[in-house]
């Protein structure tokens, strides 16, 4: 009975690893975006200009869509905290 349990555990482990690998790119892109956005805003650049500048270097389509949505929210007058709230 231990053999099926090991197989089941390894299958679960592989699924977890696969799920983690899907989000690695977006996670790194997110970290890159946040780091660079904070540097630009801290240097005095307006938030929308900083968002548009950093977005040019983002490679992930999914991340670009996310950024585009909250940039539109900010442009339409939503507070920053509300635009970032998911």
- CB 60 within 8 Å of CB 29: yes
DSSP state of 43: T
Q: What is the mean pLDDT of the chain?
A: 77
- What is the tens place of the pLDDT at every residue in 16-25? 555 555 555 5
Q: Specify the pTM.
A: 0.63
| Domains of the chain, residue spans | 2-84
43 has pLDDT over 60: yes
Residue with the bigger pLDDT between 47 and 19: it is: 47
Distance CA 9, CA 15 (A): 10
Distance CA 54, CA 61 (A): 14
Rg of the chain over all Cα atoms, to the nearest angstrom: 19
Closest among 26, 29, 24, 21 to 58, alpha carbons compared: 29
The two most distant CA atoms of the chain are separated, in Å, by: 64
């Amino acid at each position: 009975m231990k053999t099926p349990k090991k197989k089941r555990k390894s299958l679960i482990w592989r699924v977890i690893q696969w799920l983690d690998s899907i989000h690695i790119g977006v996670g790194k892109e997110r970290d890159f975006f946040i780091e660079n956005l904070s540097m630009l805003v801290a240097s005095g650049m307006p938030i929308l200009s900083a968002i548009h500048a950093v977005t040019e270097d983002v490679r992930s389509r999914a991340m670009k869509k996310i950024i585009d949505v909250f940039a539109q929210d900010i442009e339409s007058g939503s507070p920053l905290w509300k635009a970032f709230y998911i």
